[in-house]
Amino acid sequence: MSTHSNNTKKLTLFAITWPIFIELLLHMLMGSADTLMLSQYSDKSVAAVGVSNQILQIIIVMFGFVATGTGIIIAQYIGANKHKSASEVTSTPITVNLLFGVALSLVLVIFADTFLNWMGLPNELMAEARSYLQIVGGFSFIQALIMTCSVVLRNYGFTKDAMYVTLGMNIINVFGNFVLIFGVLGFPELGVTGVAISTVISRAIGLVVLFFLVLKRMEVKLPIASFFHLPKAHMKNILEIGVPAAGEHLAYVTSQMVIMYFINMMGTESITAKVYTQNLMMFIFLFSVAVGQGTQILVGHHVGAKENQKAFVQCIRSLRIAMLISFLMGILFTLLADSLFGIFTDNQDIITIGAQLLFLTIILEPGRAFNLVVIGSLRAAGDVRFPVYMGILSMWGVSVTLSYFLGIVLGLGLIGIWISFIADEWLRGLIMLRRWKSRVWERKSFVGNR
């Protein structure tokens, strides 16, 4: 057994999660830096970018089905000590996401106005939203490749690599925002366009470094030629697991787009309040996301090694940790709500509604922890279809339906929207926990049963 094989066996939740936590924090800081720096430029610019990002999230989900399938397969192969098979899987998703990413990038550039009109975007925000969507969306294939390379490195246990690269991307992005939004050091004042350009440049540099690290870290070295052909067997396996796994994400993002349409009906102030609140909420559920991703890797390793009891216990332990931290963070952010929103805006109406939404987040985020941790564990074990079916039923049957009824029909606005989020997350989460405890997933291992 190689040294690397021994290292993967010794991974603990803390060892694998803290670099993921820092990496995700840096990614969120990149988005929050964009929002914060734009908020000094214009509240309307913040709203325009927020709506554009709703569309970009769907594209990222479409890239994610390849990355998700890749991560699950690699984790189980590593757990089974089949490092040659794990390495062979790596080149396929990189090539696929490059081709797929270029195609979707072209679609975003050509149909930007169409997508924004579907979102019911106010005319006053259209020009800036179009600029951001065409620039960032036009180069979204870069993000597709970043996701794929990061997933490969994480599942091999090199979570620090992705963390350091993301740190570098943040530094480049903040500097780019500074000079391009406000026009300093001789650069033109570009506002939203400057944020978009800075985002693309920082991602491009990060991708180059990540690709080099993937080639360097592989247990079995891959020749460059391997990236120019697509083995049907590997592609079939990735799609078989990745497509259903991405279905749950797609159901979430598309339901959020419909809910964003409802919020757009409430006006620019509500859009801006929602964007600021969710930027703060990211820091609350960040820990759950990191624990969920770290748990997915460990569960995949355990399942590949046929250590099902260890996989079962790991998921339950991780869930308890994620729920506790989410609850405590929700309380902390609620107590600091006025100060936190004051960083972004001096509009008292936005601050007031934002504080109310953060209070509801105390209930919302522990429910979200169920889905981030347990669904990740189910996917890692190969049980990828059930979360999709329940996700579609709950997100659309509960979240979207209640959002319209409470937010629009009863006139509760964003408060009604947040109540619908709570109902969806808790209902879906409890169903997923029951599924995990049923241990049906023990019969669905990719490595063990195929």
Q: What is the DSSP string of 35-63?
A: HHHHHTT-HHHHHHHHHHHHHHHHHHHHH
How far apart (Å, rounded) are the C-alpha atoms in residues 28 and 279? 8
Predicted pLDDT at 275: 81
What's the pLDDT at 266?
Answer: 85
Total domains present in the chain:
1
Distance CA 252, CA 58 (A): 9
Alpha helices in 139-267 (DSSP H): 140-155, 159-181, 192-217, 232-264
Quote the domain boundaries for residue 151.
Answer: 3-449
pLDDT for the residue 170: 85
Tens place of pLDDT for every residue, the chain, 450 residues? 344 444 444 677 888 888 888 887 877 676 667 666 776 667 777 777 777 777 787 777 677 777 777 777 887 787 777 777 777 777 777 787 888 888 888 988 888 888 888 877 777 778 888 888 888 888 988 988 888 888 888 888 788 888 899 889 888 988 888 888 777 777 777 777 888 888 899 999 999 999 888 888 766 566 566 566 666 666 776 777 777 776 777 778 788 888 988 988 888 788 888 888 887 888 888 888 889 988 988 998 888 888 889 999 999 999 999 999 999 999 999 999 888 888 878 888 888 888 999 999 999 999 999 889 999 899 888 888 888 888 889 999 999 999 999 999 998 989 999 999 999 999 999 999 999 999 998 887 666 554
What pLDDT is stored for residue 346 in this prediction? 82
Chain centroid to Cα 450, Å, comes to 29
Do the Cβ atoms of 429 and 365 come closer than 8 Å?
no
List for the chain the helix, strand, coil content (%; round to 5): 85, 0, 15
- For 67, 106, 162, 176, 372, the CA distances from 139, given in Å and listed in that order, are 18, 9, 20, 17, 28
